[in-house]
Amino acid sequence: MSHDDDPPIAVQDLHVGYRRGRGAHAPVVHGVSFEVQRGATLALVGQSGSGKSTIAHAIAGLLPDNGRVLAGEARLHGQDVTQYRRRRWRTLHGSTIGFVPQDPLSSLDPLQRVGRQIAQSLLVHDVVPRREVEGEVLALLHRVGIADAEHRSRAYPHELSGGQLQRVLIAIALAARPTILVADEPTSALDVTVQKRILDLLGELGQELGLATLLITHDLALAHERSDRIIVLNEGVVRDDGSPHDILERPTDAYTVRLLSDAPVHSLDKYADRAEPEEAVVVAARSVTKVFGTGPSAVTALDDVDLTVRQGSIHALVGESGSGKTTLARIVAGLTSFTGEVSVLGQGLPQEPGSVNRRARDLQLVYQNPLASVDPRYAVRRIIEEPLVLAGVGDRAVRRARVAEILDQVALPSTVLGRRARELSGGQRQRVVVARALILAPKVLVLDEPTSALDVTVQAQIIDLLIDLQREQDLAYLFISHDLSLVRQISDRISVLEHGRLVEHGETRAVFDAPQHAYTERLLDAVPGIERASADRAA
Amino acid sequence: MSVGVLQPPVVAGRLSGLHRLRALGVLDWFAFAVVAFLLVAVVAPGLLASSDPLAPDSHLILAKPSWSHPLGTDYLGRDEFSRVVHGTVRTLVGSAIAVIIGLGVGTLLGLVAAYFTGFVDTVISRVVDVLLSIPGLLLAMVIVLALGFGAFTAATAVGIASIAVFTRLMRSEVLTVKGLPFVEASHHLGGSTWYVLRKHVFPNSYGAVLSLTALQFGLAILWVSALSFLGYGAPPPKPEWGLLISEGRDYMVSSPWLVFGPGIFITVSVLAFSRIGHFVRETMS
């Protein structure tokens, strides 16, 4: 049925659409063509809504019920699969095409041991005789780099870390020995060092098994490191198509140029002309320790951490998940109890926070998820006005004027005032919570991953806004992020946390150029593209 | 990550509201029609039944249902349909009082228990457990015996008996909402406990309680009628649904319409209210 000379994936002028309600299918992918050969990796790069996942789902036969291939063809080993029904896909899934999903935890059955879930994939496709299944599961786990496979195969998904779960999913995808692997943002939920190891693994396996890999990602730098060819998509249209080197060094399309300039890793010195921070200390933390729980199950989230944030500076707090950076931010914001000393603008914080925050005018926290941090029943006007009402500022007219003013500062149109947060775009929501945090004119802003859910272009706009506001109002930011290139781009000083310990701190550029601690070095090495950038600067 | 997942498509609120109206089934429309009919019966019973519910007619004692007397007449020759329609106000107002008591006290207790936790929560929760362990109607009877007979005390008794259900639901809703980030955010912005409770926690948790209210209203109709059937409620000769059934019981064999007429009214009303409760829950979520 298949010929060896047919490429594993050949997509020709593919159009895909979704139907909403009873209308016709609205096209979201407009005529995309590409081929992937054995042992090669193609990266589909684009922001949300670019159609990259839709293409992957169409090729893998995973389109939802309201999605349909409208025109064109997608050939897997020479066979057009666009009109396949569910029954025919069943024979292809696993055996020809393996799929690695985005969110490892929600992609596994929480009530079944991971070994069993791998075994299912083997049994469904009769890969090995029944009595050899167990051995094969262990071999697969071993192959994807899970130490102590025998023990781990009996674990439930919640007992494994994100990286281990993603390895299990890769094992499931590869169990029935497919020739094609589709990886849909396989590392976006993982820490940067784990991301590196997973991508290394995918690359090795692809070479070894001669897989044709389709890698979906939003990260151009990552695609550059990990693929043989890159296709840049925007709104379902191919904007750029070529080798990774060409795309990054000689982009032909304006959209690609914009993506590159918006990604912090390609413009690390964009804000290098920021004013030097002043001497005055606005936040000082000394030997802050935080232990969650008591007795043998107690977890030390922060262990004797010091922190100094100066007026007019951007101080970054970095580390992997579980390093305690959010805990420290919450302590500084007066939301969590602690031991040690913390002072904001010279005044000490109580170790047990009261239920009313009396420091709202000094320091404000911007939450990670803007949608969750505003009342779903409130319209934007009420959301932004609330701090003023609480502080008893002025009458209605004064407050309205102040809201209009701050709206202007965060560059939001006044038409959003009557809408609720869920009716806004991600970037607009972030602007709303920044406006709410700034309306009382605090001196310090604690920003907890303020752009982690945003596309690079939107992120670049929000960062521009934050830098402008910081300049105008002489604010100090405590900026928490896992995105090291972003941290490098905007921050003056940096504190690196590992498992609740402060392992390194100093001037950002110095730390990036010559990290003193092995952990910092490991973090920096894992960031896609950052080596390239520093090499460029040296050249 | 594919951020599309985190950003649901922008949907205008009005559009989805229209959508919901279109999704209304035949049963929903029927339920709303029944409630509209009952409201008219409460406000202006004369519009629906022209004959005097208290005027006896010695020529028409225990007459069968006919065009002029759709539900027949009772043992004094009074028009049964007219008595049922005029009795609506007592039953429904009694049920409304009961629900208001249950909703008001229950919501407050639930809010307080969930928000302050600790000792306050323990005390309230244990009292609620005790109340829930006694069948509602039985509890209502005990209370009405303690307070004395009468339409108002019967309604109060039913209300007290339903406090526990509201408390339990409100408590669990508040427990969910108060852990959400926007509640903490409001505290962080300087909101006092009372302010946050009033402006954020309460409005975001009463949706489910509101839908329970409609369900509980149906139940209250049943209980209020049951109490007056047993003679604990409104005294004769003023009509009331439960009382009408009680009066008709003596003539059940010869004139079953005296039981079936008000009985059907009670059944249809309770079903209509529970249907609306279902609708409210769908709309709120």
Residue B123: the pLDDT is: 94
Pick from A377, A386, A454: CB nearest B189: A386
B16 located within any domain? no
CATH number at residue B133: 1.10.3720.10
Determine whether the interchain pair B181/A436 forms a contact, defined as Cβ–Cβ distance below 8 Å.
no
Question: Omega of the bond prior to A244 within 30 degrees of 0, cis?
Answer: no
| Look-up of token digits 């302590």 | A331
Q: Report the distance separating Cα B176 and Cα B98, nearest Å.
A: 27
Best mutation target, B180, B188, B198, to test chain A (most A CBs within 10 A): B188
> How do residues A286-302 score in pLDDT, each as one tens digit?
989 998 888 787 888 89
Provide the CA B171 distance to its chain's centre, in angstroms: 20
What is chain A's pLDDT, residue by residue, as a tens digit (539 residues)?
A: 445 678 899 999 999 998 877 778 888 999 899 999 998 999 999 888 888 889 999 998 888 888 889 999 999 998 888 888 888 888 888 888 999 988 888 889 999 999 999 999 898 888 888 888 999 999 999 888 888 888 888 999 988 888 889 999 999 998 888 999 999 988 887 888 888 888 999 999 899 889 999 999 988 888 998 999 999 999 889 998 989 988 888 888 888 888 888 888 877 888 877 777 777 889 999 989 998 888 787 888 899 999 999 998 999 999 888 888 889 999 999 888 999 999 998 888 888 887 778 888 889 999 888 889 999 999 999 999 999 998 888 788 999 999 999 998 888 888 889 888 888 888 889 899 999 998 988 999 999 988 887 888 888 888 998 998 888 888 999 999 888 889 999 999 999 999 889 999 999 989 998 999 999 998 888 888 765 444 444 43
Contacts of B203 in chain A (CB under 8 A): 375, 377
Q: What's the CATH fold of domain A281-362+442-538?
A: Rossmann fold (3.40.50)
- Comparing alpha-carbon positions, the chain B residue that sits nearest to A446 is B188
Contacts of B3 in chain A (CB under 8 A): 47-48, 218, 426, 453-455
CA distance A127 to chain B (A): 33
B47 located within any domain? yes
**A516 or B52: whose pLDDT is higher?**
A516
CA distance B186 to chain A (A): 8
What does the angle CA B73 – CA B77 – CA B83 come to, to the nearest 5 degrees? Answer: 55
The chain B residues in contact with chain A (CB within 8 A) are 1-4, 6-8, 10-13, 180-182, 184-193, 195, 199-200, 203-204
Determine whether the interchain pair B7/A356 forms a contact, defined as Cβ–Cβ distance below 8 Å.
no
Burial class (CB in 10 A: 0-12, 13-18, 19+), B232: buried
Domains A9-104+178-262 and A281-362+442-538 share a fold: yes
Q: Does A26 touch chain B (CB under 8 A)?
A: no
Contacts of B6 in chain A (CB under 8 A): 371, 426, 453
Pick from A49, A376, A387: CB nearest B189: A387
Pick from B6, B8, B191: CB nearest A453: B6
Total domains in the fold of chain B: 1
CA distance A360 to chain B (A): 5
Q: What is the DSSP letter of B201?
A: I
Q: Report the distance separating Cα A310 and Cα A331, nearest Å.
A: 17
Sequence letter at residue A421:
A
Pick from A47, A48, A335: CB nearest B188: A335
Residue B18: the pLDDT is: 54
SS (H, E, C) A215-255: EEECCHHHHHHHCCEEEEEECCEEEEEECHHHHHHCCCCHH
Q: Report the distance separating Cα A53 and Cα A44, nearest Å.
A: 9
Q: Is the pLDDT of residue B56 over 80?
A: no
Domain A9-104+178-262 has CATH 3.40.50.300: yes
- Comparing alpha-carbon positions, the chain A residue that sits nearest to B193 is A355
B56 located within any domain? no
3-class DSSP state for residue A270? coil
Determine whether the interchain pair A423/B13 forms a contact, defined as Cβ–Cβ distance below 8 Å.
yes
- Which pTM was predicted? 0.78
Pick from A53, A360, A365: CB nearest B190: A360
Domain that holds residue B151: 25-51+73-284
Residue B166: the pLDDT is: 93
Contacts of A469 (CB under 8 A, 6+ apart): A409, A410, A434, A438, A475
Taken in order A389, A394, A395, A400, the sign of the CA dihedral is negative
Pick from A189, A356, A387: CB nearest B1: A189
How many CB pairs below 8 Å do chains A and B form together?
96
> How do residues B167-189 score in pLDDT, each as one tens digit?
999 999 999 998 899 999 998 98
Determine whether the interchain pair A390/B189 forms a contact, defined as Cβ–Cβ distance below 8 Å.
yes
Sequence letter at residue A62:
L
What are the residue boundaries of the structural domains of chain A, listed by start? 9-104+178-262, 281-362+442-538
